[in-house]
Structure 1
Amino acid sequence: MKITVPATSANLGCGFDSIGIAVNRYLTIEVLEKADVWQVEHTLGEEIPSNADNLLIETALQVKSDLVPHRIKMTSDIPLTRGLGSSSSVIVAGIELANQLGKLELTQDEKLNIACKIEGHPDNVAPALLGNLVVASFIDGEAYAIPLHFPYCALLAYIPNTELSTKRSREVLPSSLSFEDAVKASAISNVMIAALSKHHLHLAGKMIEQDLFHEKYRTPLVPEITTIREIAKKHNAYATYLSGAGPTVMMFVASNLRKNLALELEKLELDGEVVYLEIDRIGVNISGFED
């Protein structure tokens, strides 16, 4: 019995807290035999609890408090605190765990609402649940989401070896924008969504890199993004942006240009890994559950 949830890359520059894509790194939850207490077996580090304090189980019990404990095996190739939605994948998996073990028959809308109430915003949990590109909002306790088919292109990510907590990354953001800047930022985001929906990657990329909401404030925390963007432009990448709260830097590029861009970035000898990624089109996947 397995639950598989993809990693996610949020914001896409100007889609702050509301837009994300699912990518092909995965959290996998294997539900094994019933147990006296919850047991979560993993190799993700001592700081990740192996009992009911694990975020997976905490989430599941928020959805249904009387679930029968099981032994769980958790594996993941989603790096922690790197801006690839590692915690959101666990939240989505926890909701699905409760849904399956509790036979709740939750709809996708119900799952998304629960996830947003726990996470606070939809940019990671929505694509983790639905796959592909998702434009979403969470307003007055109600989630709204529109999945879109992300236009075909290759993805390339620079994933630093250093962590960057969402809390620290949010601390550098301004508490408000001027009305003029807010209108401009909103217009940029609107055009980006329209361009992506029409598969106009050149225009979408231009808008992504004109973000006014967060990147300019977070760049000092991830200074290598400036050099990476310059090199990506030389290789005709569509866009380079800070994935989620960072520090991962994501690039959209034509598939025939990705290898040369990757080789050029590796020459920088930065403290991190250059990774090929693809869009996950499925979202959360469940297999093997029985009545």
Structure 2
Amino acid sequence: MFTVRVPATIANLGPGFDSFGMAVCLYNRFSFQHAAQDALIISSDSSADTASLQQESSQASAGSGLLFRAMDVLYAKANQPRPAFQVTVQADIPVARGLGSSSTAVVAGLVAANQILKEPFQSLTLLEMAVAMEGHPDNVAPALLGGVVLYDDRPYPLPWPDEWRVMTVSPDYPVMTEAARRILPASVSMEDSIFNLRKASTLTYALLREDPDALRASLHDRLHQPYRRKLIAEYEAIERLVMDDGAFGMIISGSGSTMAIFYPTVLHAFLLEKLEHLVRAKGWSVEINDVSVDTEGAQLLYSEPL
């Protein structure tokens, strides 16, 4: 028996649509053991999250859940038959909120299968399989590798200073990836394309040079956030508050509904108090997580012979 811990991820980072992502210290844990047939057991404090994760990541009896499909992909690549497993999931990442919950299932399945088969594949091969399954790399790359990742045809790690922090605000309603993709225009102008090219380049500079002014200037986008913010009722008020109070910027995490606020660590207590006051005044139902960047990615927590 062994457990794979996979971090939540914030995809896009504003202008880096389908290219940039970061892993943060909020986790799903998947414990594997042999069984007579595939089974997924969800352990979560939230019945709504349990139902969503069950629908999104299991359907084990049909063999179509993301977790078991990922295991099947790796076993097939290794030309090995896959035995059945019981997997218990401690689900602490909000589901269908843009924090990469489905990517944790893909990454956990690949890491687990690779462990069981005595690690025939390197991490970059696992990543290629994960990207092929997901269709885009911005969640699975940081989930597997940790840290901040820019992905082209391979991952490029980027630093994140200790003096910068992340706060996520997750409303109690989902934004499904399919709906968030449908709302985007089929084409964009040359002007908007150039705008995002400049901002993504500035974001890379900001991270490499640890430049807070460049980070403030970079967190703007014209490809997806102007459209997706319409799906998040709380977005405008929260953005106005945090920007007035000294944050570097606020973005939509993945396809939403989670919003990610980047800010100097010294503002932590002040910003959290102001945000909690706003939430109470508005009567919103949201989950606030103050998180640091996870630098380890998917981890095998413990192992016993299988």
Which of 137, 151, 172 matches 1:161? 172
Between the aligned partners of 1:266 and 1:87, the Cα distance in structure 2 is: 28
Between the aligned partners of 2:289 and 2:191, the Cα distance in structure 1 is: 38
- Cα-to-partner distance string for 1:224-245 (whole Å, 9 max, x where unaligned): 2111111111211111111110
Aligned ranges 1:216-255 → 2 under 5 Å: 216-255=226-265
Structure 1 letter corresponding to 2:38: W
Question: Post-superposition shift, 1:256?
Answer: 2.1
Which of 294, 297, 301 matches 1:280? 294
Identity %: 31
Structure 2: unaligned runs, 5 residues or longer = 44-49
Query: Which residue number corresponds to residue 41 of structure 1?
Result: 41
Between the aligned partners of 1:162 and 1:287, the Cα distance in structure 2 is: 32
Does residue 3 of structure 2 align to residue 6 of structure 1?
A: no
- 152-161 or 162-171: which moved more? 152-161
Higher helix share: 2
Between the aligned partners of 2:196 and 2:159, the Cα distance in structure 1 is: 24
Query: Which residue number corresponds to residue 266 of structure 2?
Result: 256
Question: Post-superposition shift, 1:54?
Answer: 2.9
Between the aligned partners of 1:288 and 1:260, the Cα distance in structure 2 is: 38
Aligned-residue Cα RMSD (Å) equals 1.6
Which of 108, 121, 124 matches 1:93? 108
Between the aligned partners of 1:125 and 1:205, the Cα distance in structure 2 is: 26
Aligned ranges 1:129-208 → 2 under 5 Å: 129-137=144-152, 143-152=153-162, 153-208=164-219
TM-score w.r.t. structure 1 length?
0.93
Query: Which residue number corresponds to residue 72 of structure 2?
Result: 61
Question: Post-superposition shift, 1:268?
Answer: 2.3
Question: Post-superposition shift, 1:261?
Answer: 1.4
Query: Which residue number corresponds to residue 123 of structure 2?
Result: 108
- Cα-to-partner distance string for 1:69-110 (whole Å, 9 max, x where unaligned): 122211110111000000011111111111112234211210
Between the aligned partners of 1:36 and 1:274, the Cα distance in structure 2 is: 40
Between the aligned partners of 1:163 and 1:35, the Cα distance in structure 2 is: 33
